[in-house]
C-alpha cells in the first residue's frame, strides 16, 4: 500500500473495500452520493474507480455484490452509475476518432497558449489553483495531491473551467487525465464533452454556488461569482458508430504467453487455455502521467502480474517499458511462443500499442489474442446511441451466468 493514497492497490484490498461499502450501496447511496466531505471526510461513494478502471475488480464484481445485498430495485442507482462507465467505454469504442481528435486538440491548444497572453494567464492560474474561486482552487490541490475528485466535484470543476474561466474543455480534460488515478479515455473525455453539451445535444452543466456550498457541507463559501449561463459548445462532428470487432478466441493447442497490461490486471479470472508457459507485464500506461498516477498504476500492475504468475506457477517477467517491439519479440522467441494472450483493451494508449504490436508479432508467426470479457462483449455494441436506450442492456448484463462474468 502506498502511504500517500487511500485507494486499494491490490485485488484483495479492492474486494475488502467493496465488502465494506456494500451496506451503503442501496438507499444510502441513492440519497447521499452527491455529497462530498472532502479528502479527510467520510466518503458517500465507493472510491473504487481507480480499481475498476484497471479491473482489479470488474464492473461485474461490484454490480453482482450490490444486487446480491440490496436486490436490483434497492441497488438500482449504484448499478446505473457503474453502467455509465460501461456505456461511455462502449460509446467511445465505436467512435475512436473522438479520442484521437481530443489528443490532437490538446497538442494544438498547448502550442496556441504561447501566442495568447490573456488565455495563458487564466490557464496558468487555474492549474496553480490560484483563481480566487475557493472551491475550484481547493479541488485543484486535492486532485494534484490525491489523484481523485468526487463525481459532483468533477462536474462543477469542469463547468467552472469552461463557463466561468472560459478555458477550452480539451485542456481541462488533459489536466484531469494527467492526475486522475482512474483516468479513463472514455469516462474522462466524454464526461467533459457532456458538461459542455457535446454529448447530449444542447444540454450543458452549469455549476451553482448554492449547490456547491450545500453538497460540500459548507466547506466552501463560493463568494466569487460563477458564470450564470452555460451555452453549449459549438457542435462538432460525431462520426457514425463502427460496431466493435468480434471477440477473439485463443487456440488451446498453442504454446502461449500471458501478457498483463494496466488495462486489465485480473487476467487469471479470464477463461485461459492450458498451455501457458510464460507470463509478463509491461510498465507503461501511455501519456505523461503525474507521478502518483504512475506509481498507483504500477502497484496495481505488479499485483496483477504476481496473481497471474502464482495462479499459473510461473515466474513473473517484465518486458520493455514502452511495449518495444524488440523486447516483446525477444520474450516470445525466448519462450518459443506461438500465441500471446492479453485482455482486450478499449480505446486508449494501450490499445494503440497492441494494435501496432500485433503485425510485428504476426511477422514472427506469433498471434496476439485479445480476450474480451462477456460484460464488454454484451454491452459495447449496444452503446451506439444515448444512455437511456442503453439501459435496456442492464438486465441482460445481470443475467449473464457467473462463469461468463469471471
Ligand X SMILES: Cc1cc2nc3c(=O)[nH]c(=O)nc-3n(C[C@H](O)[C@H](O)[C@H](O)COP(=O)(O)OP(=O)(O)OC[C@H]3O[C@@H](n4cnc5c(N)ncnc54)[C@H](O)[C@@H]3O)c2cc1C
How many CB atoms are located within 10 Å of the residue 277 CB? Answer: 13
Least gap, CB of 37 to ligand X (angstroms): 12
Least gap, CB of 176 to ligand X (angstroms): 6
Does 168 engage in binding with ligand X (CB under 6 A)? Answer: no
Cell 504500477 belongs to: 298
Alpha-carbon separation of residue 25 from 67, 81, 160 (angstroms): 9, 11, 30
Cα end-to-end distance, the chain, whole Å: 25
Query: DSSP label at 43?
Result: -
Contact with ligand X (CB under 6 A) among 188, 204, 256, 261: 188
Query: DSSP label at 264?
Result: B
Does 151 engage in binding with ligand X (CB under 6 A)? Answer: yes
Residue pair 97/239 in contact (Cβ under 8 Å)? The answer is yes
Nearer to ligand X, 150 or 373 (CB): 150
Least gap, CB of 142 to ligand X (angstroms): 12
Q: Which helix (H) or strand (E) holds 95?
A: none
Nearer to ligand X, 155 or 285 (CB): 155
How many CB atoms are located within 10 Å of the residue 129 CB? Answer: 16
| Minimal CB distance residue for ligand X | 191
Does 81 engage in binding with ligand X (CB under 6 A)? Answer: yes
Partners of residue 115 on adjacent β-strands: none
Does 335 engage in binding with ligand X (CB under 6 A)? Answer: no
Stretch touching ligand X by CB under 6 A, among 12-20, 41-49, 282-290, 390-398 = 41-49
Contact with ligand X (CB under 6 A) among 10, 187, 261, 384: 187
Alpha-carbon separation of residue 213 from 45, 134, 144, 207 (angstroms): 19, 11, 22, 11
Contact with ligand X (CB under 6 A) among 33, 54, 70, 353: 33
Does 15 engage in binding with ligand X (CB under 6 A)? Answer: no
Binding-site size for ligand X (CB under 6 A) equals 28
Contact with ligand X (CB under 6 A) among 183, 305, 343, 383: 183
Does 199 engage in binding with ligand X (CB under 6 A)? Answer: no
- The Cα–Cα gap between 53 and 152 comes to 19
Contact with ligand X (CB under 6 A) among 63, 158, 260, 290: 158
Cell of 56: 482489479
Least gap, CB of 287 to ligand X (angstroms): 12
Contact with ligand X (CB under 6 A) among 9, 24, 52, 75: 52
Does 76 engage in binding with ligand X (CB under 6 A)? Answer: no
Q: At what angle do helices 185-195 and 169-179 cross, to 10 degrees?
A: 150
Least gap, CB of 53 to ligand X (angstroms): 5
Contact with ligand X (CB under 6 A) among 126, 184, 366, 383: 184
Does 13 engage in binding with ligand X (CB under 6 A)? Answer: no
Contact with ligand X (CB under 6 A) among 11, 22, 49, 160: 49
Residue pair 141/290 in contact (Cβ under 8 Å)? The answer is no
- The Cα–Cα gap between 25 and 47 comes to 12
Contact with ligand X (CB under 6 A) among 36, 137, 182, 344: 182
The four Cα atoms 134, 118, 113, 154 give a dihedral, to 10 degrees, of: 20
Nearer to ligand X, 29 or 259 (CB): 29
Alpha-carbon separation of residue 48 from 8, 150, 229, 237 (angstroms): 8, 11, 33, 33
Report which of 63, 59, 61 is spatially closest to residue 71, judged by C-alpha positions: 63
Contact with ligand X (CB under 6 A) among 56, 57, 180, 258: 180
- The Cα–Cα gap between 159 and 144 comes to 19
Does 154 engage in binding with ligand X (CB under 6 A)? Answer: yes
Partners of residue 368 on adjacent β-strands: 340
Does 307 engage in binding with ligand X (CB under 6 A)? Answer: no
- The Cα–Cα gap between 229 and 260 comes to 46
Residues at the site binding ligand X, with contacts judged by CB under 6 A: 33, 45-49, 52-53, 81-82, 84-85, 88, 150-151, 154-155, 158, 176, 180, 182-184, 187-188, 191-192, 195
Amino acid at each position: 500500500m502506498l502511504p500517500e493514497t487511500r485507494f486499494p492497490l491490490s485485488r484483495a484490498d479492492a474486494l475488502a473495500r467493496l465488502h465494506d461499502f456494500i451496506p451503503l450501496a442501496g438507499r444510502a447511496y441513492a440519497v447521499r452520493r452527491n455529497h462530498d466531505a472532502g479528502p479527510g471526510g467520510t466518503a458517500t461513494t465507493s472510491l473504487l474507480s481507480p480499481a475498476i478502471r484497471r479491473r482489479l475488480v470488474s464492473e461485474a464484481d461490484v454490480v453482482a455484490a450490490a444486487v446480491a445485498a440490496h436486490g436490483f430495485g434497492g441497488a438500482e442507482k449504484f448499478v446505473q452509475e457503474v453502467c455509465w462507465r460501461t456505456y461511455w467505454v462502449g460509446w467511445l469504442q465505436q467512435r475512436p476518432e473522438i479520442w484521437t481528435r481530443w489528443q490532437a486538440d490538446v497538442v494544438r491548444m498547448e502550442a496556441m497558449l504561447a501566442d495568447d497572453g490573456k488565455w495563458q494567464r487564466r490557464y496558468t492560474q487555474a492549474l496553480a489553483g490560484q483563481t480566487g474561486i475557493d472551491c475550484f482552487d481547493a479541488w485543484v490541490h486535492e486532485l494534484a495531491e490525491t489523484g481523485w475528485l468526487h463525481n459532483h466535484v468533477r462536474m462543477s470543476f469542469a463547468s467552472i473551467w469552461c463557463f466561468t474561466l472560459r478555458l477550452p474543455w480539451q485542456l481541462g480534460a488533459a489536466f484531469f487525465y494527467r492526475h486522475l488515478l482512474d483516468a479513463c479515455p472514455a469516462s474522462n473525455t466524454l464526461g467533459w464533452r457532456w458538461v459542455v453539451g457535446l454529448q447530449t445535444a444542447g444540454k450543458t452543466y452549469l455549476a451553482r454556488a448554492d449547490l456547491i456550498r450545500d453538497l460540500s457541507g459548507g466547506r466552501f463559501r463560493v463568494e466569487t461569482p460563477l458564470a450564470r449561463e452555460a451555452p453549449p459548445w459549438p457542435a462538432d462532428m460525431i462520426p457514425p458508430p463502427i460496431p466493435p470487432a468480434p471477440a477473439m478466441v485463443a487456440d488451446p493447442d498453442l504454446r502461449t504467453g500471458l501478457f498483463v497490461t494496466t488495462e486489465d490486471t485480473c487476467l487469471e479470472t479470464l477463461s485461459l487455455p492450458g498451455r501457458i508457459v510464460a507470463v509478463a507485464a509491461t510498465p507503461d500506461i501511455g501519456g505523461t502521467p503525474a507521478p502518483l498516477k504512475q506509481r498507483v498504476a504500477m502497484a496495481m500492475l505488479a499485483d496483477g502480474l504476481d496473481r497471474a504468475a502464482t495462479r499459473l506457477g510461473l515466474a513473473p517477467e517484465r518486458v520493455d517499458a514502452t511495449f518495444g517491439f524488440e523486447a516483446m519479440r525477444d520474450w516470445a522467441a525466448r519462450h518459443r511462443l506461438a500465441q500471446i494472450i492479453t485482455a482486450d483493451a478499449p480505446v486508449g494508449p494501450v490499445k494503440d500499442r497492441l494494435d501496432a504490436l500485433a503485425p510485428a508479432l504476426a511477422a514472427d508467426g506469433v498471434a496476439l489474442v485479445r480476450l474480451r470479457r462477456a460484460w464488454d462483449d454484451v454491452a459495447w455494441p449496444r452503446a451506439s446511441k444515448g444512455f437511456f436506450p442503453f439501459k435496456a442492456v442492464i438486465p441482460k448484463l445481470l443475467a449473464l451466468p457467473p462463469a461468463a462474468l469471471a
